[in-house]
Structure 1
Amino acid sequence: MRHLNHNAFVSACRDERGVGHHTLRAYAQDLQTFARFAEAHQLSDPLSRDDILAYHRHLRDALGAKPATIERRLVTVKSYFAWREDRNSALPSPFTDVRISVRIPRRLPRPIDRDTLRAVLQEGEATFAVRSKPGEHDATPASEIAVTLLIIKLLIVTGLRISELTNVRVRDVSPDGGQILVNGKGSRERIVFVPNRELQEELRRHCEVRCNEGSLAAPLFLNTEGRRLRSATFRKRLRALSRRLGIEPHLTPHRFRHSAATLLIEEGIDIRMVQALLGHASLRTTEIYVQASNYALRRTLERADILDILRN
């Protein structure tokens, strides 16, 4: 078949629908996977229902892709052909009569338990205190530890995605450090609040330093080379911290996001408020944290076995 017009489709998604950078990159990868399949099997227009079913089997059996990956790749290709048909009715979508059901197992999120969160915060505070002393030298500078600890605290209280937080600029933080303007998925802006007074002051001081170093348009968080801190760099820092504290499974930014949501629901915060905080378009996405909270309740009750206590 003719070469898939990846670039035009991706550009249309960006310009017409405001799709985010990470989603655009996923679209491009998904279409490249389909293009390789089409070339290997010498598919030609117009594609048929059987071609799409064959691609589904290829993803499932030959590539061994996970159900979520299969669903995403099929949805991307379906969107591409719908977009193409909309621009040229002589090229009908092969998905018109296709009904493929991909069963995705619903997994509970794995938040970080409270004891581990306390240990992480205590380790960060203790390490920063030591590195800040005059004459103390280490491979990890105090400034890097301070930034890492500040980000961890913000992830815990705001539930931000790490990409959202590393893209924040100095001007996006309110003068008192109490709120942050965030550009989330699909370029949807939202405001998240920093409820802890001590953390507000810490964030305000950090913004003040960054303002003196650069401008209001500068990135809020920098790496050790003075450039915007990348998500991947922060993930490496969390892996190192996990090894040092013996935390398994290792810490990730998204586990902090899970923790933020679960802790709020356990503390009685309305689920719709948690939805707004996390920037979920659908309430269904947030509801999984209610299940996680119930799971935590069950584990707590099992530890406090009332019958066992009464017997002893």
Structure 2
Amino acid sequence: MPHLDHTAFVNACRDERGVGHHTLRAYAQDLRTFARFTKERHLTDPLSKDDILAYHRHLRDDLEAKPATIERRLVTLKSYFAWCADRNSALPSPFVDVRISVRIPRRLPRPIERDTLKAVLHAETELTRAQPSDQAFAADQKVTILMIKLLIVTGLRISELTNLKIRDVSTDAAQMIVRGKGNRERIVFVPNAELQDAFRRYCMFCAEHGSLKSPLFLNALGRRLRSQTFRKRLRMLSHRLGIVPHLTPHRFRHSAATLLIEEGSDIRIVQALLGHASLRTTEIYVRVSNTALRRALERANVLNALVE
């Protein structure tokens, strides 16, 4: 069985390339899957091109993995063997001369309908009328609504929002420093004056009860609010409002991009907001925004222009 140095590779990706926590966890999972395959097939070093092709068939036919999962597992493995070859040139990568094409269906993003967004935002009024016994729950939900508003206007990934520290937000709460994929920093603005005011008051409250290095959003135990906990809050809110399918953080990100496109924002502005490295990633929102297309056609009103 080949010796796979999972831990050293993952640590190198973290320390040398600044790879994020979720990606590192995916790398480790991908390498464990390959390790099980090599153990089952009694493979030994050096691995060959045929071993890699057999692994691809195993993922596709035996595990029936989705195309995106197959591609990720192969990319991780190729990166791992390239890293090994850099450390020891006597052990060439088995991916040399391997050409595997994985067709990934292009899935359209699913933004949240405007009426649903309005219903979620109106839930804040209901929370102000909470009974004394529900005050703790209402307080958590008010923070949840604040976070939802920030997701809608900024398009942040939920991990980017939950990883914010008090010091990352400007004193007027009009902008914040966000660390995205690959630990890349970008400045994100909060454009709505009313939201700025609510966000500023929240940040001031947090600063009074913690240091500038403290996490901005906390759970019931006073620790950093985890992304998964926020997802649970969204499911509870969805259930209370009768929203099906339930709300997810990434759908708010899709909504932020789609709303901007529909309101006529330049695609490069949306790219900068979302922190996309490639414009191709952002272009999908142009295709999905049929509302913007309909509005443009209505404004043009071609038939009326011909008969006038």
Q: Under a length normalisation based on structure 2, what TM-score does the superposition of the two structures give? A: 0.93
- Partner residue of 2:89? 89
Runs of 4+ in 1 over 6 A off after TM superposition: 299-302
- Whether the aligned pair in 2 keeps the contact of 1:171 and 1:217 (CA below 8 Å) is yes
CA distance in 2, matches of 1:137, 1:59: 52
- Partner residue of 2:75? 75
- Residue 176 of structure 2 aligns to a residue whose secondary structure is strand
CA distance in 1, matches of 2:254, 2:261: 11
- Residue 180 of structure 1 aligns to a residue whose secondary structure is strand
Task: Measure how far apart 1:86 and its partner are.
Answer: 1.4
Structure 2 letter corresponding to 1:288:
I
Change (3 A) 1:212 1:77: same
Give unpaired runs (5+ residues) of structure 1.
Answer: 308-312
What root-mean-square deviation, in Å, do the aligned CA atoms of Structure 1 and Structure 2 show? 1.9
Task: Measure how far apart 1:137 and its partner are.
Answer: 2.1
- Partner residue of 1:168? 164
Structure 1 letter corresponding to 2:69:
T
- Give yes or no for the alignment of 1:281 onto 2:280: no
- Give yes or no for the alignment of 1:40 onto 2:25: no
Structure 2 letter corresponding to 1:126:
T
CA distances 1:140-168 after superposition (whole Å, capped 9, x unpaired): 53321211010000000000001110000
Percent pairwise identity: 75
CA distance in 2, matches of 1:244, 1:78: 46
- Partner residue of 1:126? 125
- Partner residue of 2:151? 155
Q: Which moved more, 1:161-170 or 1:219-228?
A: 219-228
CA distances 1:72-108 after superposition (whole Å, capped 9, x unpaired): 0000001111111111111111111111100000010
- Give yes or no for the alignment of 1:184 onto 2:183: no
Change (3 A) 1:266 1:87: same
- Partner residue of 1:203? 199
- Whether the aligned pair in 2 keeps the contact of 1:179 and 1:193 (CA below 8 Å) is yes
- Partner residue of 2:221? 225
Give unpaired runs (5+ residues) of structure 2.
Answer: 304-308
CA distance in 2, matches of 1:154, 1:199: 8
- Whether the aligned pair in 2 keeps the contact of 1:130 and 1:136 (CA below 8 Å) is no
- Partner residue of 2:243? 247
Task: Measure how far apart 1:127 and its partner are.
Answer: 2.5
- Partner residue of 1:310? none
- Whether the aligned pair in 1 keeps the contact of 2:160 and 2:179 (CA below 8 Å) is yes
- Residue 134 of structure 2 aligns to a residue whose secondary structure is coil
CA distances 1:223-257 after superposition (whole Å, capped 9, x unpaired): 12211111001100111111122212210000000
- Whether the aligned pair in 1 keeps the contact of 2:262 and 2:291 (CA below 8 Å) is no
Task: Measure how far apart 1:139 and its partner are.
Answer: 7.4
CA distance in 2, matches of 1:34, 1:298: 48
Structure 1 letter corresponding to 2:70:
I
CA distance in 2, matches of 1:7, 1:295: 48
